[in-house]
Amino acid sequence: MAKRRIIGRIMIVLGAALITAALLLVAYNYYHESKSKAAMDNVLVKLENKIPEQPQQEDNIESASPFAVFEQEEISHTDEPEPPAEEEAPTVDIDGRIYMGLLTMPTLGQEFPVIKGWSYDDMNIAPCQYSGTRAGRDLIICSHNYAGFFDSLEELRTGDEVIFTDLNGRKFTYEISYTELISGWDGNKMFAGAKTDWDMTLFTCTWSGYSRVTCRCVLKK
């Protein structure tokens, strides 16, 4: 009888310890997500102040040369002309991180700063450029599923608009083509279809962390 009582007490203590650990984990996650959201909101205000209200067009490099028309004619007669150079996206440094633009989801009423490049530390502050570029029509933007980040990404539906605004104030409007769930181990599928099936991709982890909620976007003409 005494042995059963001892075992029972041990089980009660272990159960209480597990419940306490779970509550502490929930509290830590809430604190961490709230801290990240506050940091992102702070950056968002600073970034919005740096983007001009009136879009600024990039200088046309070809028109700067009086011989451009002859150079173009000469190039057109070559067997294998070089592809046009991809424009370099403007960026800005805010608090030691490089930002490339704003991402707006009107349907969800959300707007995010976008960091150029990515790291796990950067993802605690804002969505990041995972790979590709806007001009290259293969831009992939990733984010944590923290509250206020990409936690509502799966709520976007086909036809919903997503707007990317660069640092020159130029707005590029996309619409959701389709959403899919991709395994976290299937990297090739994440990149498949760029420039043909989609022009921009947004993704975040599921709560289990094993899969990626992935929204494929096409640029509206």
Q: Per residue in 117-164, pLDDT tens?
A: 999 999 999 999 999 999 999 999 999 999 999 999 999 999 999 999
- 97-105 and 128-131: which strand pairing? unpaired
User: Confidence band (pLDDT; 50, 70, 90) for 58?
Assistant: low
CATH code at position 122 = 2.40.260.10
84 is a domain residue = no
- Residue 120 is predicted with a pLDDT of 94
72 is a domain residue = no
Asked if 171 and 165 touch (Cβ cutoff 8 Å), the reply is: yes
- Residue 221 is predicted with a pLDDT of 75
80 is a domain residue = no
Which regions of the chain does DSSP assign to beta strands (E)? 92-94, 97-105, 110-115, 128-131, 139-142, 161-166, 171-183, 200-205, 211-219
Mean pLDDT (the chain, rounded): 81
79 is a domain residue = no
- Residue 78 is predicted with a pLDDT of 43
| pTM metric for this prediction | 0.76
Average pLDDT over residues 161-177: 97
210 is a domain residue = yes
Q: Per residue in 84-114, pLDDT tens?
A: 455 678 999 999 999 999 999 999 999 999 9
Structure tokens, 212: 């990626």
pLDDT at 190 over 60: yes
- What is the domain extent for residue 14? 2-54+90-219
Ranges 64-73, 109-118, 174-183: which has the least confidence: 64-73
CA distance 111 to 160: 14
209 is a domain residue = yes
Contacts of 201 (CB under 8 A, 6+ apart): 139, 140, 141, 190, 194, 214, 215, 216, 217
Asked if 113 and 100 touch (Cβ cutoff 8 Å), the reply is: no
pLDDT at 29 over 60: no
75 is a domain residue = no
pLDDT at 81 over 80: no
Count up the domains in the chain and report the number. 1
115 is a domain residue = yes
